[in-house]
A and B are shown apart, each in its own frame.
Chain A
């Protein structure tokens, strides 16, 4: 084994004492290797034992039905996946809040990552102030019902519950500056948000502890999500129209641990980058007079920490 191979030969689940003369710890790999050997032996034994029964059905199989080992394409994953965090920049604690934008492509799905820095997450109901310089990222959060414009799924705005529904299993909470993204039928964070003046909303679950979550809608659209990966919270937007399936698979292949959907398609929002440049997405129909904003339209807002903004409901 060359030196380079030796020093690169470590997985994220391993540690290595540097300077230790022993070879890198490979106990886990040895265990896996042993398990693979046992599995192969067991498989061969099972094949031998089962062969008389399966022989009866072999002739009925068409070529298309036979899965060919090695034929399944591997996901195309950009180099970002192996990084500890997606953020690529160093940010001083006192630096003014901003959103880092990173573009990548996973499985041919072009994605834009929005990584907020020195900002805190809250929710807002009603029109956003497009001139508010403290807002470094905003996007529509929970869906609203088409019939009565009620918020779909439980929703807490600065400790005040505005909706109690459980129709969506994905949730996002921001409590005392800590953001949690997860999937659960009932979450204690709903009550906690009420008790501590926090924020909580529900949406379609996309990724649950690294596992793909299937969703019903099959149409293609620009998709958005709020994600958590190794403790890092960020938003993702597909730069092309995608099905829930392809978008969610891209998140899984990106290594996202938990993700819930955000309103996609033409839903309006923006991000402010480090240079103060505003990047808008969606269509600002509700702000230009081309459409009347439905009651309870709500936004996820990343804002400069301690900006002192208390009001979260706009008329």
Chain B
């Protein structure tokens, strides 16, 4: 079975394949997992702790699916559909079933754009 991300707390456990995560946003002491099936799941970990879990559990290659953008969001780079730096908009979509638009700083989006551009070189 391909590597799964496991987020476990005292009361519950989430096991999810990395490709089913669209993005994870920070909500103070909690994080919200936005899934490709449209579900949202709140987990009682701060975003930095979730980032560490991804890094520790998925290793270098799988971990590179995810990019932390600023303090408040981790995105799955394979769902990046549209970046507009000047409008500070980032759309994550699979083109068929979901489209989520989030905002980030211009500088961060500029860096993200460069990072995605690097993948075609």
Contacts and interface: CB of A to CB of B under 8 A. Distances in A.
Q: Do they bind each other?
A: yes
A20 B107 CA distance: 20
A19 B54 contact: yes
B108 A18 contact: no
B114 to A, nearest CB: 9
A3 B27 CA distance: 20
B64 A19 contact: yes
A82 B70 CA distance: 10
A161 B71 CA distance: 43
B88 interface: yes
Contacts of B64: 17-20
Interface string A18-49: 11110001001000000000000000000000
Of the four ranges (under 10, 10 to 19, 20 to 34, 35 or more), the interface on chain B belongs to: 35 or more
Given A79-B28, A84-B25, A84-B26, A18 B68 contact: yes
A12 B103 CA distance: 11
A129 B51 CA distance: 50
A90 B32 CA distance: 10
B112 interface: yes
Given A12-B105, A14-B108, A20 B60 contact: yes
A25 B32 CA distance: 24
A contact face: mostly helix, strand, loop, or mixed? loop
A4 to B, nearest CB: 7
B52 A7 contact: yes
A88 B27 CA distance: 8
Contacts of A3: 52
A187 B16 CA distance: 49
Nearest to B32: A90
A58 interface: no
Contacts of B54: 18-19
Nearest to A25: B111
Interface of A: 3-4, 7-8, 10-21, 25, 28, 79, 82-85, 88, 90, 230-232
Given A12-B71, A14-B70, A15-B70, 14 more contacts: A4-B48, A11-B70, A14-B107, A15-B112, A15-B115, A16-B51, A16-B67, A17-B115, A18-B66, A18-B68, A19-B55, A20-B64, A28-B107, A90-B32
